């Protein structure tokens, strides 16, 4: 064994015995790795590379779709905000128109009620006036009838009755 070690006395030696050092086995293993590993490992790396590229492509596609969806959602939000503002403004305008219409109807109804009250008051005043006239005429007639016999003698009463009958027959 000492013959196969070179420079063994210096601390580092090189063993040139092929069977002891297992160089042939190492050469066979290295050759096998060199021959078969690139195909096996290369195929695995290529498949992994393809999977990563496919995942990146899918991620980019999803990002594009998400960006498009985000843009569309922003447009829809803007449109919805515009519609909401328009609806709010239309509602305020409609509420103001309803309020004005209600006020107008209230004023008209109050005027109609006031007119009705004035009309009722005038009608009642006319009725009371007519009743007072009838009562005054009745009292005047009663007083005249009460005082007339004392003032008229027999001949004047006969003339008065004849005159009244003539006046009635002419009509």
> Is 162 part of any domain?
no
Domain that holds residue 143: 5-154
- Given a contact cutoff of 8 angstroms between Cβ atoms, the answer to whether 60 and 53 are in contact is no
Sequence-ordered strand ranges (E) for 49-136: none
Count up the domains in the chain and report the number: 1
Residue 15: its H or E element:
strand 14-15
State pLDDT tens for residues 98-143.
999 999 999 999 999 999 888 888 888 899 999 998 888 888 888 8
> Is 170 part of any domain?
no
What pTM, to 2 d.p., does this model score?
0.40
Number of H helices, E strands in the chain: 3, 2
């Amino acid at each position: 064994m000492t013959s196969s070690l070179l420079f063994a006395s210096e601390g580092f030696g090189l063993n040139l015995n092929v069977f002891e050092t297992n160089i042939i086995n190492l050469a066979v293993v290295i050759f096998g790795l060199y021959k078969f590993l690139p195909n096996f490992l290369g195929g695995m790396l290529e498949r992994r590379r393809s999977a990563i590229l496919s995942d990146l492509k899918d991620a980019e596609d999803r990002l594009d779709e998400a960006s498009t969806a985000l843009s569309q959602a922003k447009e829809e939000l803007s449109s919805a905000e515009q519609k909401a503002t328009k609806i709010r403004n239309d509602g305020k305008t409609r509420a103001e128109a309803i309020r004005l219409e209600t006020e107008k109807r209230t004023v008209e109804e109050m005027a109609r009620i006031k007119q009705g009250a004035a009309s009722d008051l005038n009608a009642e005043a006319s009725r009371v006036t007519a009743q007072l006239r009838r009562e005054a005429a009745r009292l005047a007639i009663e007083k005249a009838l009460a005082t007339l016999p004392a003032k008229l003698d027999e001949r004047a009463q006969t003339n008065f009755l004849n005159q009244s009958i003539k006046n009635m027959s002419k009509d």
